[in-house]
């Protein structure tokens, strides 16, 4: 076993090399993805041996965190020159746009997971820091990954940026492609990335201005994300413009909140850009994020029949049941037009309950009203329409004759 990092705490980061280490990681993956998250239909899940592995594990750098004898976190990194990439990667990450970059300078991070009880600890930061350091030493320029909407905020804090269209993964649901320019010192410093501490004293590695301009020119979406990270007020004004237009649109999530309270809630979210036809939520998917439509339209459809049951306009909320109850999604939600969606994670609500219980109670009350409105709508839609009896003309004629 080759130790990659050690600290004064029992937590250590290693690179998996032996078959025993790899099998322990595969079993840990199965525990998190299948047993905890309920992703039973994963194509590469071996339910007999209770482990999860696939072809990309070959020739990959696999890091893991260990506490005592237990694996508590893991991350896989594939270099483009050492891995046979799935064809879907070309489309998902627009790899043709990076033809000028040698494959040895591109990497792909995946299978990042942390044990449930340790997700708020240093385990995640330590394994990501080790991965970043390794990337710098290997000369990696860009690292690609994708994440669930609820995790965009985490990745953006690290320095990753959404840079192309979102896509639907048949196994794990709606995903956001992200890109990290490992040597973009200006951006990492601006977003206060923990990676900046690893880079700031190594100016010889910093990405030159031309490289940063190339990235912004090729993928303009990153420019907006960078600006919001730097200018907090710009993000707030964007949201205020979307949610408080001159028409006075009602926003159920923000009912009876002061402007400062609104700002606190909205700043916790991340804006997701969706293309028309994107399936944002699928019946049966696991997730705990809440969504607010900022622009465009989305349609709610029953999972099996795909029957449309509601159209969501700007200001309206969806995903609230899983956000509160930690259950699987009960319906599909599809973007009917190019849309912008605000994503708020369950983690934010839990933090809010500790830091500002009064504001948290207002948000929860508003969500309870949303749930009640949805329940009333669902109940009415399931009830049969009342049968209105047609008048019997013959009986009516006889009643008239009797009166005479």
Write the pLDDT tens digit of every residue in 150-201. Answer: 788 788 889 998 888 888 888 788 899 999 999 999 889 988 899 999 999 9
Cβ-Cβ contacts under 8 Å for 247 (sequence gap 6 or more)? none
- Into how many domains does the chain fold? 1
3 token code pair: 């130790």
H/E element, 317: strand 317-318
Question: Is residue 288 assigned to a domain?
Answer: yes
Residue 260 CB neighbour total at 10 angstroms: 9
Question: Is residue 25 assigned to a domain?
Answer: no
Question: Is residue 263 assigned to a domain?
Answer: yes
3-state SS record for 2-70: EEEECCCCCCEEEECCCHHHHHHHHHHHHHHHHHHCCCCCCCCEECCCCEECCHHHCCCEEEEEEECCE
Report the alpha-carbon distance of residue 269 to residue 290 in Å, rounded.
9
Give residue-wise pLDDT tens across range 246-278: 445 567 888 888 888 888 887 777 888 899 999
Sign of CA dihedral 354, 356, 361, 363: negative
Expressed as residue numbers, the domain containing 270 is 249-381
DSSP state of 331: S
Report the alpha-carbon distance of residue 241 to residue 246 in Å, rounded.
9
181 forms beta bridges with 142
Give the residue-averaged pLDDT of 287-316: 86
Residue 292 in this model has a pLDDT that exceeds 90: no
328, 322 Cβ separation under 8 angstroms: yes
pLDDT at 252: 81
Report the alpha-carbon distance of residue 86 to residue 80 in Å, rounded.
11
Token pair 């990497």: residue = 107
Give residue-wise pLDDT tens across range 44-88: 899 999 999 999 999 999 999 998 889 999 999 999 999 988 888
- The C-alpha R_g of the chain, in whole angstroms, comes to 25
Residue 314 in this model has a pLDDT that exceeds 90: no
pLDDT at 385: 56
Question: Is residue 267 assigned to a domain?
Answer: yes
Cβ-Cβ contacts under 8 Å for 238 (sequence gap 6 or more)? 228, 271
Cβ-Cβ contacts under 8 Å for 225 (sequence gap 6 or more)? 156, 161, 162
Residue 1 in this model has a pLDDT that exceeds 50: no
Residue 6 in this model has a pLDDT that exceeds 50: no
Question: Is residue 325 assigned to a domain?
Answer: yes
End-to-end, the C-alpha distance of the chain in Å comes to 107
User: Which segments of 133-193 are extended strands (E)?
Assistant: 142-147, 161-162, 167-169, 173-181
Sequential DSSP letters for 250-261: --GGGTT--HHH
Lowest mean pLDDT among 141-145, 213-217, 380-384: 380-384
Question: Is residue 317 assigned to a domain?
Answer: yes
3-state SS record for 267-311: HCCEEEEECCCCEEECCCCCCCCEEEEEECCEEEECCCCCCEEEE
DSSP state of 96: G
H/E element, 228: helix 221-230
Q: What is the CATH number of the domain that holds 345?
A: 2.60.120.10
Report the DSSP pairing between strands 298-301 and 308-312.
antiparallel
Distances (CA, A) of 402 to 364, 392, 394, 396, 398: 63, 16, 13, 10, 6
Q: Half-sphere exposure (CA, 13 Å, Cβ side) for 275?
A: 8
Mean confidence (pLDDT) of the chain: 82
Question: Is residue 29 assigned to a domain?
Answer: no
pTM of the model: 0.77
Report the alpha-carbon distance of residue 149 to residue 185 in Å, rounded.
26
User: In degrees rounded to 5, what are phi and psi of residue 346?
Assistant: -65, -30
Question: Is residue 318 assigned to a domain?
Answer: yes
95 forms beta bridges with none
């Amino acid at each position: 076993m080759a130790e990659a990092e050690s600290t004064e705490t029992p937590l250590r980061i290693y690179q998996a090399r032996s078959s025993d280490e790899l099998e322990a990681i595969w079993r840990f993956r199965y525990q998190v993805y299948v047993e905890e998250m309920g992703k039973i239909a994963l194509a590469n899940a071996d339910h007999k041996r209770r482990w999860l592995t696939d072809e990309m594990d070959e020739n990959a750098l696999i890091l893991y965190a260990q506490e005592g004898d237990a694996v508590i976190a893991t991350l896989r990194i594939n270099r483009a020159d050492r891995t046979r990439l799935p064809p879907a990667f070309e489309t998902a990450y627009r790899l043709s746009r990076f033809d000028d970059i040698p494959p040895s300078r591109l990497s792909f991070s995946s299978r990042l997971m942390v044990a449930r009880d340790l997700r708020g600890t240093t385990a995640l930061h330590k394994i990501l820091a080790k991965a970043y350091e390794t990337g710098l030493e290997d000369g990696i320029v860009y690292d690609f990954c994708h994440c669930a909407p609820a995790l965009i905020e985490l990745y953006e804090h690290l320095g990753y940026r959404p840079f192309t269209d979102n896509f639907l993964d048949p196994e794990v649901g709606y995903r956001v492609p992200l890109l990290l320019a490992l040597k973009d010192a200006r951006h990492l410093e601006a977003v206060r990335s923990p990676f900046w501490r690893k880079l700031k004293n190594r100016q010889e590695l910093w990405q030159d201005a031309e490289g940063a301009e190339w990235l912004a020119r090729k993928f303009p979406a990153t420019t907006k994300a960078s600006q919001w990270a730097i200018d907090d007020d710009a993000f707030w004004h964007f949201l205020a413009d979307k949610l408080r237009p001159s028409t006075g649109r009602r926003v159920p999530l923000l009912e009876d909140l002061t402007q400062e309270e609104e700002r606190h809630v909205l700043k916790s979210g991340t804006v997701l850009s969706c293309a028309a036809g994107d399936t944002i939520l699928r019946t049966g998917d696991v997730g705990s994020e809440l969504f607010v439509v900022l622009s465009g339209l989305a349609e709610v459809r029953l999972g099996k029949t795909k029957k449309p049951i509601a159209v969501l306009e700007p200001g309206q909320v969806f995903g609230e049941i899983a956000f509160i109850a930690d259950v699987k999604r009960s319906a599909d939600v599809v973007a009917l037009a190019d849309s912008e969606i605000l994503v708020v994670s369950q983690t934010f609500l839990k933090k809010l309950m500790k830091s500002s219980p009064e504001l948290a109670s207002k948000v929860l009350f508003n969500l309870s009203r949303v749930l009640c409105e949805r329940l009333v709508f669902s109940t009415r839609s399931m009830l049969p329409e009342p049968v209105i009896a047609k008048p019997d003309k013959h009986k009516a004629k006889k009643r008239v004759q009797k009166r005479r």
